[in-house]
Every structure is written in structure tokens, then in C-alpha cells.
């Protein structure tokens, strides 16, 4: 078995329940264009890290995504964002009951012998029951953590003001107990950025639909070029970078 794990993270797809646009963006078309590129990559895993649906967890959106990924050449994992409904995700993607903690998608996976942890911030918090679950996990090895909402404020004026995680202090108090979690991968902010907080790096992944201007106090679309994140885990070394669909050169975040 190879000791390298090759992951693609896509996020904030906001797939509509029909072919209608989302904020003027043809989100289904952009999603398919990204998937066509990723099908050509030697991936071990595709992660859809929340806000799969446009607004309120539309079941037709999930059904459409599932159909488009039916022939994807590697396994994929779906996570819940604040525009998703866990019960609809469970129904459409036939998710196991063992992945659900107090009604939330909260689980671990071991891929290529490496540990991945997935949390559910779909109600804008990491609730007490979920943090208690995390605190009981025997994380005695290097692990990657995936959460839709970043567990810190991220320097985006519009998103930080009203749309950040609501229990950051409590969440970080739990995360700080795990020194072997060095990398946290998120979406939600519709931008690409890597931030350092204490001993951890928080990586924001751009959307496949639209990117938000981080300097504006109001919702402002910076551009509509779809992006995604590549994660390469070789032995103990983590390398990650962001790519955009119309760019020949990957944009590397450090």
C-alpha cells in the first residue's frame, strides 16, 4: 500500500434544485467542469466539505450531485454546511448511522492508513455533544481535521462580521487538546487562505461557485472562477495548494 494520500477538497458548491443560477452563477456547469478536471487526477479521495445545496438542503440538489459522481474514479465523502440538511444528506447518500452523533455528521475515516476527522458545523456551532465526542477520540497519531466553518476569524470583513462560527472559544479549547492535529481544512468563506493559530494551520478552500471579496463589509462577489484544494500527505509531510479552473499554475498557500 502506498504511504501517500492524495485528496481533493471541493466546497460550497451551492447546487440548485433545478438548472437555475445561484447569484447569477451557473453552479451546475462550474461543478461539472471541476469534476472533469479532478477525474483526471490520481486521487485517493474526494471531499465535498459542505454547502452542497444552494439554500436549504434541497434533496433534488443532492440527487443531482450523486448522479454526477456515480462514475467518479475514487471514493468521496460528503460533509454538512449551514445550507445543508443532515437528514437529506443521509437519505440521498445512504450514510451510515455510525457517522451521526446527536443528529450531526461527525465521524472518522482511515484512508491509506491515515486518520481523517470530520465535524459538522451546519448550525454555525460545534455543539457540546460534538465537542464531547471529539474529546473522547484517541488521537495518538497525526490526523487531518475537516470542518465547514473555520474555528477562527479569518480576516474577511463580511463573513467575520455575521457568518463566522459562533462558539469559537469553546471549539478552540477542545482543538487545543490535540497537538497531533496540525492542519484544519475548511470552506464557508468562499476564498483561499491559510492562517496560523497557535500550533495549527487553518486552510480555507475556495468555492466551485463564486468567491467573496474579503475586504468588503457587504456581500460582494470578487470573481466566479471555481477553485478547489489539493492535499498531499506523504509520510508525515503535508503539502497543500489551491487551484483555479482557468489557471495553468496552481496557487500555493503556505
- Contacts of 20 by beta carbon, 8 Å cutoff, 6+ apart: none
Average pLDDT of span 135-148:
95
Q: With contact defined as beta carbons under 8 Å apart, do 149 and 104 qualify?
A: no
Which tops the pLDDT comparison, 50 or 20?
A: 50
Torsional sign, CA 84, 88, 94, 96? positive
Cα separation, 212 vs 249, in Å, equals 21
pTM above 0.85, yes or no: yes
Cα separation, 133 vs 111, in Å, equals 21
Domain range for 190: 4-252
DSSP states of 146-195: E-SS-SS--S-HHHHHHSS-TTHHHHHHHHTT-TTEEEEEE-SSSS-EEE
Q: How do residues 122-138 score in pLDDT, each as one tens digit?
A: 999 999 999 999 999 98
Among 89, 102, 189, smallest CA distance to 147 is for 189
Q: How many domains does the chain have?
A: 1
Helix (H, G, I), strand (E, B) or coil at 231: strand
Q: With contact defined as beta carbons under 8 Å apart, do 107 and 118 qualify?
A: yes
Q: What is the mean pLDDT of the chain?
A: 94
Among 40, 36, 14, smallest CA distance to 26 is for 14
Question: How confident is the model at residue 253, as a pLDDT?
Answer: 32
- Contacts of 70 by beta carbon, 8 Å cutoff, 6+ apart: none
Which tops the pLDDT comparison, 4 or 251?
A: 4
Among 244, 224, 247, 242, smallest CA distance to 22 is for 224
Cα separation, 244 vs 41, in Å, equals 14
What is the C-alpha end-to-end distance of the chain, expressed in Å? 28
| Residue 200: pLDDT band with limits 50, 70, 90 | very high
Q: With contact defined as beta carbons under 8 Å apart, do 60 and 17 qualify?
A: yes
User: 171: domain CATH number?
Assistant: 3.60.21.10
Q: With contact defined as beta carbons under 8 Å apart, do 240 and 222 qualify?
A: no
| Residue 248: pLDDT band with limits 50, 70, 90 | very low
Amino acid at each position: 500500500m502506498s504511504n501517500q494520500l492524495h485528496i481533493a477538497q471541493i466546497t460550497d458548491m451551492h447546487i440548485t434544485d433545478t438548472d437555475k443560477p445561484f447569484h447569477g452563477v451557473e453552479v451546475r456547469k462550474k461543478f461539472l467542469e471541476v469534476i472533469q478536471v479532478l477525474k483526471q487526477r490520481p486521487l485517493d479521495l474526494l471531499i465535498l466539505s459542505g454547502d452542497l445545496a444552494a439554500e436549504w438542503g434541497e434533496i433534488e440538489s443532492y440527487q443531482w450531485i450523486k448522479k454526477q459522481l456515480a462514475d467518479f474514479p475514487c471514493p468521496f465523502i460528503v460533509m454538512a454546511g449551514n445550507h445543508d440538511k443532515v437528514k437529506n444528506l443521509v437519505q440521498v447518500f445512504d450514510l451510515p448511522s455510525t457517522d451521526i452523533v446527536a443528529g450531526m455528521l461527525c465521524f472518522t475515516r482511515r484512508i491509506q492508513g491515515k486518520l481523517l476527522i470530520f465535524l459538522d458545523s451546519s448550525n454555525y456551532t460545534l455543539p457540546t455533544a460534538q465537542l464531547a465526542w471529539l474529546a473522547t477520540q484517541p488521537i495518538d497519531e497525526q490526523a487531518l481535521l475537516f470542518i465547514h466553518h473555520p474555528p477562527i476569524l479569518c480576516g474577511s470583513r463580511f463573513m467575520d462580521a455575521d457568518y463566522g462560527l459562533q462558539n469559537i472559544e469553546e471549539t478552540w479549547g477542545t482543538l487545543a487538546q490535540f497537538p497531533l492535529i496540525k492542519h484544519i481544512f475548511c470552506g464557508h468563506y468562499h476564498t483561499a487562505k491559510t492562517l496560523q493559530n497557535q500550533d495549527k494551520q487553518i486552510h480555507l478552500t475556495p468555492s466551485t461557485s463564486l468567491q467573496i471579496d474579503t475586504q468588503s463589509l457587504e456581500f460582494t462577489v470578487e470573481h466566479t472562477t471555481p477553485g478547489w484544494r489539493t492535499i498531499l500527505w506523504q509520510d508525515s509531510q503535508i503539502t497543500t495548494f489551491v487551484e483555479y479552473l482557468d489557471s495553468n499554475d496552481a496557487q500555493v498557500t503556505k
